[in-house]
Amino acid sequence: MITLHPPPAYFQLIEVQAPAPAPSPAQPLQVAPDATQREQLEVLPFDIGRYLPPTAIWATIVVSVFPPTGSAAVYTPGYENTPVIFHGPKSSGEIRLNGPKIYLHLDDGATSYSIEILSWHEP
């Protein structure tokens, strides 16, 4: 039996940081955001459901990060404690799906990424 899949989908997203507003004299200068703010800023949601069938339970993806020394952690809702780590410049792996969204957390100085969906598994 031959399983046919559509060609891989390619995505490229670039994170651009807006210039920080000048602090007012009444506010103290904040050198770095605290851990909660940093996590909220670096977690990037991505709607993968429009590229996969709704019955898909696993997806094989390739993640490229820039700069090559960076890495990205990919997880889905319900599996936040077990992310799949993709090291730069390019690596592949399987992620368990739990709905149409995945979340990507850039680490080690990564500023941009691209995702390529190779295949998926259905029950």
Rounded Cα distance between 2 and 107, Å, is 39
Residue 18: inside a domain: no
Residue 31: inside a domain: no
Residue 62: inside a domain: yes
CB 85 within 8 A of CB 44: no
pLDDT one-digit tens code per residue, 65-123: 988 899 999 998 888 888 999 998 999 999 999 888 899 988 888 888 888 989 999 88
Residue 30: inside a domain: no
Rounded Cα distance between 57 and 63, Å, is 19
C-alpha triplet 8, 11, 15: angle, nearest 5° = 160
Supply the CATH number for residue 54's domain.
Answer: 2.60.120.260
pTM over 0.95: no
pLDDT one-digit tens code per residue, 30-50: 333 344 444 444 688 888 888
Q: Report how many domains make up the chain.
A: 1
Distances (CA, A) of 65 to 4, 28, 87, 91: 29, 34, 8, 9
Residue 20: inside a domain: no
Structural domain of 80: 9-13+40-121
Partners of 1 in the beta sheet? Answer: none
